[in-house]
Amino acid sequence: TASAPPALPTTGLATALIARRSVRAFVDAPLDPADLTALAWAAQGDTGDGRRTTPSAGGRHPLAVTAVVRHVTDTAPGLWRWEPDAGALTRVAPGGFGPALAACTVDARDWLADAAVVLLLSADLEAARAAFATEPPAWERGARYVWLEAGAAAQNLALQAAVLGLGAVLVGAFDDDLLHAVHPELLPDGHDPLAMVAVGCAA
């Protein structure tokens, strides 16, 4: 006979893992700027010793985090880029981009535009491939490392949102070409979009 499942832990990381859910309905309420910083830090933050919150092959840290802000207190709507060394977001373009991002997705058009912020993860996959292409079988290894790092960053974001009492959902079904066309500053030069995490106050 099967044994009874173990009791769920009630402290530490386990509480965030249990609380994490994919939320696809948001109310029109602002995020606190400190929460936005905490989210970006969770994805690609400096841990105080020159390392980051996510593992990175070769310590290359190829990911960029762009916050597409719609509704954050005392924060102008637009595109904001996370600067890990400074621990701060820098505004790179003004404007409201929620509907444009939603239009790039396959099935998130009805709700993604309602998120207070969408955090876009991106990286230069060609540079990553070249960095690890010491022999033909290794050509795709660099890209694989980047995808693994992006997955770790996305999970960090989701868990941080859960700790903050916010709703979040990972979005991977989007058209890369449409996303590139949203705005010239949405992605750093040479970067490919990897994932979006929509965050807001859950409905």
Q: What is the dihedral of CA 106, 139, 129, 134, to 10 degrees?
A: 170
More confident residue, 132 or 173: 173
Structure confidence at residue 202 as a pLDDT band (50, 70, 90): very high
Q: Tokens at residue 154, please?
A: 């996305």
Q: Name which of 28, 182, 192 is nearest 122 in CA terms.
A: 192
More confident residue, 136 or 194: 194
| Torsion over CA: 72, 77, 81, 83 (sign) | negative
- By three-state DSSP, how is residue 159 classified? helix
Structure confidence at residue 180 as a pLDDT band (50, 70, 90): very high
pLDDT digits (tens, 9 = 90+) for 79-105: 999 999 999 999 999 999 999 999 999
Task: Supply the pLDDT for residue 50.
Answer: 85
Whether 10 has a pLDDT exceeding 80, the answer reads: no
Q: Are 94 and 77 in contact (CB under 8 A)?
A: yes
pLDDT digits (tens, 9 = 90+) for 136-166: 566 688 899 999 999 999 999 999 999 999 9
- Please state the separation of Cα 20 from the chain's center in Å: 15
Task: Supply the pLDDT for residue 139.
Answer: 64
Whether 125 has a pLDDT exceeding 90, the answer reads: yes
Q: Tokens at residue 11, please?
A: 């402290």
- Highest mean pLDDT among 18-22, 36-40, 58-62, 139-143 belongs to 36-40
Structure confidence at residue 6 as a pLDDT band (50, 70, 90): confident
For residues 111-132, give the mean pLDDT: 94
Task: Supply the pLDDT for residue 167.
Answer: 97
Task: Supply the pLDDT for residue 1.
Answer: 62
State the average pLDDT for the chain. 92
Q: Does the model's pTM come out above 0.85?
A: yes
Rg, Å, the chain Cα set: 17
